[in-house]
Amino acid sequence: MIGFRDVPKAITQGNGERDALWQAADCLEEAIAGRIADGGEIPKPSRAARGERLIPVSSPMAAKAALYLAMREAGITNAQLARKLGCGEKEVRRMLDPRHPTKLPRITS
């Protein structure tokens, strides 16, 4: 069984260490995607305690989560960001959509 201290409802398991780590990464990405979709909080990761491992997320998910958090902190809407970027609001929705394969340069520009 694998759980996350910072995301208590995210729990998974794996067959062996390698599979467990892969499942953990997938579970964490799904938990973050759900929070983005629901407009929820994405907690900052705690430091690993003794015996714990840090689980990384993919670069695209990390970029989408960072964009989501920056927008929440700044208090701006999708439409406001679209105006600032000179694009349509639909494109901003896609940048935030964990299922949409947005290219990293578009998110980080």
H-assigned helices in the chain = 17-38, 59-74, 78-85, 89-96, 104-108
pLDDT average per 10 residues of sequence, the chain (109 residues): 89 92 94 94 91 90 94 96 94 92 75
88 sits in the region (left: phi over 0; alpha: psi -120 to 50; else beta) called beta
Per the CB < 8 A criterion, the answer to whether 69 and 45 are in contact is no
Stated pTM of the model: 0.85
**Does residue 53 lie within any of the structural domains?**
no
Task: Read off φ and ψ for residue 32, nearest 5 degrees.
Answer: -65, -45
pLDDT computed for residue 109 by the predictor? 63
Count of domains observed in the chain: 2
* In a shared domain, residues 101 and 70: yes
**Does residue 52 lie within any of the structural domains?**
no
pLDDT computed for residue 105 by the predictor? 76
Spatial distance between the Cα atoms of 42 and 38, rounded to a whole number of angstroms:
11
In which domain, by residue range, is 21 found? Answer: 2-38
